Amino acid sequence: MDIASLAFLTTTTKFLIFLFKISTALDTIAPSQSLSDGKTLVSRDGTFELGFFSPYDSQKRYLGIWYGNMPGRTVVWVANRSNPINGSSGLLTINGTGNPVLLSENMTVVWSVSNLTKEAQEPILQLLDSGNFVLRNKNDGDSGIYLWQSFDYPCDTLLPGMKLGWDSKTGLNRHLSSWKSSNDPSIGDFMWEVQLNTNPELVMWKGTQKYYRSGPWNGIGFSGGIALKPNPIFGYNFVSTEEEVYYIYNLKNKSLFTRIVMNQTTYNRQRYTWNDVNQSWILYDSVPRDRCDSYGLCGAYGNCVTSELPVCQCLKGFKPRSLERWNLMDWSQGCMRNKPLDCETGDGFVKFSRLKLPDTTHSWVSKTMNLRECRTKCLQNCSCMAYSNLDIIERGTGCAIWFGDLMDIRQLPADGGQDLYIRMNASETEGKAKPKMKIAVITFASIAMVSGILIISFAIYKRKTKSTEQTANNTQNNQNNDYHNEDFELPLFELSTIVNSTNNFSINNKIGEGGFGPVYLGTLIDGQEIAVKRLSRSSGQGLNEFKNEVKFIAKLQHRNLVKLLGCCIQGEEKMLVYEYMCNKSLDSFIFDQTRSKLLDWAKRFNIICGIARGLLYLHQDSRLRIIHRDLKASNILLDNEMNPKISDFGLAKTFGGEQTEGNTNRVVGTFGYMAPEYATDGIFSDKSDVFSFGIIMLEIISGKKSRGYHQLDHSHNLIGYAWRLWKEGKSLELIDPVLGESYHLLEVMRCYHISLLCAQHHAEDRPSMALVLLMLGSETPLPEPKEPGFFKDKGRVDEGSSSSKIESSTTNEMSISLLEAR
């Protein structure tokens, strides 16, 4: 027999053995069957295999899925990744209720499936050619209807056809998480998921810190990615609907293999393709790609440019916020505008091209607006910092706008990135620049015109001078007496008294920083401590709010409202003088890991009840019926006995007669606390405050912030997280761990229940504060809460937009305003 014949016989024999292996291997398990250690399931085409394995030098056993016809063992999914079996006696079967279970030697359940989509009838487990391990009813055949599937619970690998993202109906978050190490498949600290914002994007987390983000989807790709050229291997898409938000990719050539893996060792998301010639995996691409992909490297308004040294550059029209740190290559403080914005007189926009769009956490989108309408919407809102097209296909459609500082921007190559229009002082925009010749012509013409007018107007000026001076004097006198004509019903402090009490506004006396200026601790001659809120001279806003707060709070007297002692109005100085709260604000306790331990459940419950009593007084029992409109943890002050006092009435509104709600074109408040109907349509009522109260209750119970809260395995905000835990029967997971076991469980659960009732989406479903107090003080059965206000995008502004017209006791608050034409 010649060599060629021998080679043909050998190849034929291997092929027949391979076919025999496929034809005899099982791909299913029925209720009467089981899979023991040493046996495997093989998909019909032989691509994937399921069985027991030990990673590298580990002696522990895991049930997993790997490629079946490749050398070595490339594991793509592990069932019991956090609960290994010691010894080789594992058993996979289907129990009497139709649920898959994995048992150890002593018949202890190591892993199981319980959350089936529907009732199991003649269930079977099957390993599909896609690598998906499914539980289905036998009669469903290949319909694609599954009771459960491993594709919904990925580990560190994303296979073609798998969805990375959210099922909004069930709250399921399909995300990747790395192995802890090469011989330990338990969950590491490196994770990749879809972050749910109004403009969702892919985000990698290293522990609790953002590590990398893709930028939002623009119809073609992610704005932070380098444009992928057409390739013969795979295609990809991003789907965002009311029911699902996910990323998916599929193979173009079914004979090829590719996978995406989260690598704990290198902290990369890596895409591999299989090379048949070399019989090995080839790295196709990975992210982060370079240093500029590191999240927030250059701080706010910093642009990361890989071709520059240093890589961090301030955007044109910006300068380092701290030049000293910037020169030391500490870019964390970012950049600031060369010229401050001037929303009152008019700002403009500067176009920046080929950028990775900023972090979308604080953004809003409309799928129906064009770019011109988007610009108008942003210009009307003093807190809108930038806008861009949502979709860049053809000429571009949709609108995306950003609030607050713009984070995580980078410059991309010529074929990547997107146009971003950033708000600037009008003098910095191109539309205001004038050629020198044009300026010269205008100047000459102006001089000629003025020369002629001066001759004619001189006599008129002489005649009217005396009358004008008299008018000016009368106007000045009226302005100086404006505040004294107000019926403030409060004592007026002399400026010298305030200056002496605060050590001339010493930095050592500063105890807070709000939207309109700083707050200082002062001590009067008699030893009384006071808190002085000083309106910033450069604020350019807040005068009406100042007068508003004085008039409102002067007429309010309640143990759960902060007491205003007086005000100081002298020259350009305008200050409010409060009683000093030695324990400062509620947020300084519940969000601090150390100080939160000082608030046991009894104190927290007392705070909840105190806030409720204060709100009831405002809504029902005061001389004026008042809607606060900016209720939040930082506006709840605590006295020396930890009793709560509602403060900051600068944005409050009154109702008269039988009026129950109002409407405004200027929506004000704080991100994360605003009721949906107020954020979207400007409709406010006492139920708006009730919604904010519900959010504060959740913060007190959980010790977590509503705004910017992120839970790796759950929703993107606190109210969504709390709702899902409630629906899944996992309410205890919300309770602040620092409480230990010192709380009254029924009381905590009742408060949890009431908070969800307060935060329901529709205002008419929420209880009044009178009913809230009744529910807090009794044990009567409570109604089932309806879905809370998640601020889902409906093509309008409803994603937590709020106002910059606020006074805050902390500097890390973000507030925005909506100025809508109606």
Query: Using CA atoms, how far apart are residues 358 and 386, in angstroms rounded to an integer?
Result: 9
Q: For residue 758, what are its two tokens?
A: 């307060």
Q: Is 711 exposed, middle or buried (0-12, 13-18, 19+ CB in 10 A)?
A: middle
Query: Using CA atoms, how far apart are residues 691 and 186, in angstroms rounded to an integer?
Result: 40
Q: Are 155 and 63 in contact (CB under 8 A)?
A: no
- β partners of residue 425: 347
What lies within 8 Å, CB to CB, of 106 at 6+ separation is none
Query: Using CA atoms, how far apart are residues 617 and 292, in angstroms rounded to an integer?
Result: 53
Q: For residue 49, what are its two tokens?
A: 């295999």
Active site residue 630: yes
Query: Using CA atoms, how far apart are residues 400 and 420, in angstroms rounded to an integer?
Result: 10
Q: For residue 630, what are its two tokens?
A: 């900016």
| Residue 459, Ramachandran bin (φ over 0: left; ψ between -120 and 50: alpha; else beta) | alpha
What lies within 8 Å, CB to CB, of 266 at 6+ separation is none
Query: Using CA atoms, how far apart are residues 497 and 553, in angstroms rounded to an integer?
Result: 22
Which of 152, 359, 630, 736 does the annotation list as catalytic? 630
> What SS3 class is residue 498?
helix
Query: Using CA atoms, how far apart are residues 93 and 513, in angstroms rounded to an integer?
Result: 62
Residues in the chain, overall count: 822
The Cα-based distances of 167 to 34, 77, 360, 434 in angstroms read 31, 20, 20, 53
Backbone angles phi, psi at 503, to 5 degrees: 55, 50
DSSP string, 87-133: SS--EEEE-TTS-EEEE-TT--EEEE----SS--SSEEEEE-TTS-E
DSSP 49: E
Query: Using CA atoms, how far apart are residues 129 and 177, in angstroms rounded to an integer?
Result: 23
Query: Using CA atoms, how far apart are residues 240 and 222, in angstroms rounded to an integer?
Result: 13
Query: Using CA atoms, how far apart are residues 400 and 369, in angstroms rounded to an integer?
Result: 9
3-state secondary structure 541-564: CCHHHHHHHHHHHHCCCCCCECCE
Active-site residue list: 630
